[in-house]
A and B are shown apart, each in its own frame.
Chain A
């Protein structure tokens, strides 16, 4: 016989096995007797597996050490309290928290809609510019003047490209 299933919450032997279909997706949970009781699973009224999964994902005790968003100082506990994030960077910081929730929340887990083309092009240009400027600095420092001239030309070309959309409107 296969090894007995462990409780998803406390790793005792699981004796309660639940399968629920939410949004056409099958969710399975295995619980031990006491966790099942504690979570109200044995109460046939008003129990939702989705809630259980959700609460579980948000329970700070079940998460690795409370991470803090470097950009804005937001914590997992803040998210539990507000249900909203602190800044765009939080999605990267708390990806392990949010990823499992997306499946229940949305139709898919990957964006297939509009892309902010202009914003992204500008960002690519900006990143390239920063890179070139540091290369230029390096070249000057090490007295590679031919390289430096090449970098400088490329920078001025890029800058023109960046300026253009602004003058157009």
Chain B
């Protein structure tokens, strides 16, 4: 299997019909692992990194989840391929910018990806559409156990899995959920939520992790600490934080409808109009418009089954994906034209909105 064919096959994120949970778009868990007796990637010479890459690729190729997978070095990827993989959350920006000896192995349905020689020798990631922390943990735990049969991990009984950065020691696990929180953003409550979540030992980031903006009102919430708690405890704690954020978002939506339904419906209606008629759309604007339509679906303005379309477009409206369809190099302005073309086509057949105005409104 090649990377090109992988990118054209359906993936968990772009083609899932199972947007079961309206607010949690996607769940991800990653484990950092290192090989015993070898320098971490950032402190290794080229030859050492190449050796680690070979050993890890070999070990991965025989595991059950990676039987059908693509295994490639970062050097063999084009800039566009790297960008698309970042947009699909399959590799990190850090890996895409790394030099010799970095690689990635991705399974066919793109739910499992393993980065090699990123900050740690191995960064194993499992990704699931919707709110599925426990499922993601059972999958990644099994793969990790399989790998451990083949590789000697750097581990200390007291500090747990040893990682390049001491902030990842212990379980070396980061569990995260991608949440769509438009009402909290509209009602300016996000700052308050971020503060509260931080106090509970969780971190809030933008769509593409550290330092990225929160366009489309999409946020990533994950555990901050990794030592002193078991994986199950971290997942349980994160799960309950997520539940409470969901509750706050739902309350904020109810409040917006109660106090200012026209204003909210106006935003949704205008977003629909722009998506159907615009000729120039930047990716940030597209994300924000799609976000409003997704909110509309949750509020029964649009039919439930159209949520999967929006979730797919969240990914396909990203610059790399637009570029990929064009098959030739584009200026960003040309990309905005193509993005608008694509969205106009998608929304030409989209269900018409039905606004239910409560009471005397």
Q: How far is the CA of A107 from the CA of B227 in the complex (A)?
A: 6
Contact of B276 with A by CB under 8 A? no
Check if B166 sits within 8 Å of A108, measured CB to CB. Answer: no
Contact of A2 with B by CB under 8 A? no
How distant is A91 from chain B, measured CB to nearest CB, in Å? Answer: 6
Scan B162-184; emit 1 where CB is below 8 A from any A CB, else 0: 10111101110100000000000
Check if A112 sits within 8 Å of B230, measured CB to CB. Answer: yes
Contact of A46 with B by CB under 8 A? no
Which of the four size classes fits the interface of chain A? 35 or more
Contacts of B226 in A (CB 8 A): 106
Q: How far is the CA of A59 from the CA of B159 in the complex (A)?
A: 24
Check if B228 sits within 8 Å of A106, measured CB to CB. Answer: yes
Q: How far is the CA of A98 from the CA of B156 in the complex (A)?
A: 14
Which of B154, B229, B231 is A107 in contact with, Cβ under 8 Å? B229
Contacts of A114 in B (CB 8 A): 141, 144, 171, 230-231
Tell me how many residue pairs across A and B have CB atoms closer than 8 Å. Answer: 123
Q: How far is the CA of A165 from the CA of B62 in the complex (A)?
A: 13
A81-89, A127-135, A152-160 - the one binding chain B: A81-89
Q: How far is the CA of A117 from the CA of B145 in the complex (A)?
A: 9
Contact of B43 with A by CB under 8 A? yes
Contact of A71 with B by CB under 8 A? yes
Check if B164 sits within 8 Å of A111, measured CB to CB. Answer: no
Which of A86, A91, A108 is B229 in contact with, Cβ under 8 Å? A108
A residues within 8 Å of B by Cβ? 71-72, 74, 78, 82-89, 91-92, 98, 101-102, 105-120, 122-123, 165, 169
B residues within 8 Å of A by Cβ? 34, 36-40, 42-43, 62, 119, 141, 144-145, 148-149, 151-162, 164-167, 169-171, 173, 201, 225-231, 233
